[in-house]
Amino acid sequence: MYDDLNLYLRFRFDRQGIIDLAAMLAPSLTSHTTKGRPIPPVAQVLIALRFYASGSFQAVAGDSVQVSQPTVSRIIHRVSLAVANRLRNFMAYPTAPAEVASIRQQFFEMAGFPGVLGVVDGTQIKIKAPSANEIDYVGRKGGHTINVQGVALPDGSFSNVVAKYAGSAHDARIFRESALFADLVAGRKQGLLIGDSAYALSPFLLKPLPNPTTAPELRYQQALLATRATVECAFGQLKGRWNCLHQELRYSPDRAGAIVVACFALHNYAVMRRLPNIIIPDGGAHADDNNIIVVDNVADVRVHDGQARQMQIIRQYFS
């Protein structure tokens, strides 16, 4: 029905990308019943992609999909779970030496900040008011949300996503309770992350200085903030590609979380295929930075070790 441009505008993928994605997900999408008229996996993928791209059931119906809205909703959930369950096919924290070296070099070339393997931050995704623990899902700016953690890479893709916390959850708490944090503390994963003032300083996470005064401190601050902009740009690319993340996901928190994880995974898949971006500034992710609770006074040796590493980097690279 569509030429290559209109196919991309509706579904955000090229023709071969859709075919390959449908083949990958087919084992989870193939019906094993003889009742009714089973919908082929490629049609289910197209229905889900159209919803992710538009955020509207009406847009799906407008593309002449001859299925009911409840069926569309079930298909979106089924495809989202199929993608989320294959997250490792699309996303992984860098561990291979050659990949680690390449990512560190790419970040260094941005603004001269050494050793960075990712930039971590949270973004709020709107959902309908849940039936349980409704007050927990009221975000900082009002409305019901989930707070989603992402770790961005230089090419605009993500190496980590966590999409299971209510909108009131603090960014620092989400990171502290994540599997990635546990792996970094235990030494199972290496590397340096950049965060904003919401996060606790540690040997593996550096953040802006509260009051830089000397020339080296100011140079450190400028390089860190320029590097941290990577995650803002990545969130903008993600939400530009998948407009459903800009609108209210009218699902329970669990189902909305599966959709969000699927969108992160498919964003990475699009970056891997070098497809063009549709960038929308992520105004909701960092608008409240001035009101963030600083958590550096936590009684933890990691904070002191983080301060030591911060000072070492300032002396070695910015003096």
Chain Cα centroid distance, residue 129: 22
pLDDT digits (tens, 9 = 90+) for 88-136: 999 999 999 999 999 999 999 999 999 999 999 999 999 999 999 999 9
Asked whether the whole model's pTM tops 0.75, one would answer yes
**pLDDT (tens digit, 9 = 90+) per residue, 40-94?**
999 999 999 999 999 888 788 667 677 888 889 999 999 999 999 999 999 999 9
Average pLDDT for 248-257: 95
Task: Please state the three-class secondary structure of the chain as a single string.
Answer: CCCHHHHHHHHCCCHHHHHHHHHHHHHHHCCCCCCCCCCCHHHHHHHHHHHHHHCCHHHHHHCCCCCCHHHHHHHHHHHHHHHHCCHHHCCCCCCCHHHHHHHHHHHHHHHCCCCEEEEEEEEEEEECCCCCCHHHHECCCCCEEEEEEEEECCCCCEEEEEEEEECCCCHHHHHHCCHHHHHHHHCCCCCEEECCCCCCCECCEECCCCCCCCHHHHHHHHHHHHHHHHHHHHHHHHHHHCHHHCCCECCCHHHHHHHHHHHHHHHHHHHHCCCCCCCCCCCCCCCCHHHCCCCCCCCCHHHHHHHHHHHHHHHHHHC
pLDDT tens per residue, range 148-159: 999 999 999 999
